[in-house]
Structure 1
Amino acid sequence: MEVILMIMFFTSFWVAVGKFGPILVTKGPHDDLVRCIFLLTAVVCWLFWLCCYLAQLNPLLGPKLNGHTIRIIAKSWGNPIKDG
């Protein structure tokens, strides 16, 4: 439940940045460019945050090796594991 609330909160934050950001800028000759910059910034920052947040929820871990496989790897690398 906390995950969905966090995603909804940050999504609404970046939607607000994309929607109300261009309003805060004074009128000038490059209104369309500034509006485009705010929208792209909001989308890219939201996507970056979402990818980082979701990657932390399900981290990629290495394979879990059993003891026999670890001994074979250690022996092939030249440092055998001593039992005991």
Structure 2
Amino acid sequence: MGAILTIIFFTTFWAAVARVGPRMMSKAPQQDLVRCCFLLAAVCCWLFWFCCYLAQLNPLIGPKLNQNTVKIIAKSWDNPLVG
């Protein structure tokens, strides 16, 4: 339940940045460009955060090696701790 609330909170935050950010800018000839930049920045920041958050929720687990394989790798890498 905590993960869902976190996702909802940050989605709301970045949606607010996308909605409120352009309104804080003064009227200018390039207002559409500024609005587009705010929207793209908010979407990209949210997407980056979302991908990182999901990667932490379900981390990739490396292969499980047996003891003989670990010794062979350590010996081939000239590890002095392996006898």
TM-score bracket, shorter-length normalisation: 0.7 to 0.9
CA RMSD of aligned residues (A): 1.8
For structure 1, list consecutive stretches of 5 or more residues without a partner in the other structure.
none
- Correspondence for 2:2: 2
**Amino acid across the alignment from 1:35:** R
Q: More deviation in 61-70 or 11-20?
A: 61-70
Superposition deviation, residue 76 in structure 1: 4.6
Is residue 18 from structure 1 mapped to residue 21 from structure 2 by the alignment? no
| TM-score, structure 2 normalization | 0.83
C-alpha distance in 1 between matches for 2:18 and 2:24? 11
Q: Alignment length, in residue pairs?
A: 82
Instruction: Give the TM-score normalised by structure 1.
Output: 0.82
The one-letter code of the counterpart of 1:71 is: K
- Quote the Cα distance in structure 1 between the aligned partners of 2:72 and 2:55: 32
Q: How does 1:41-52 map onto structure 2 within 5 Å?
A: 41-52=41-52
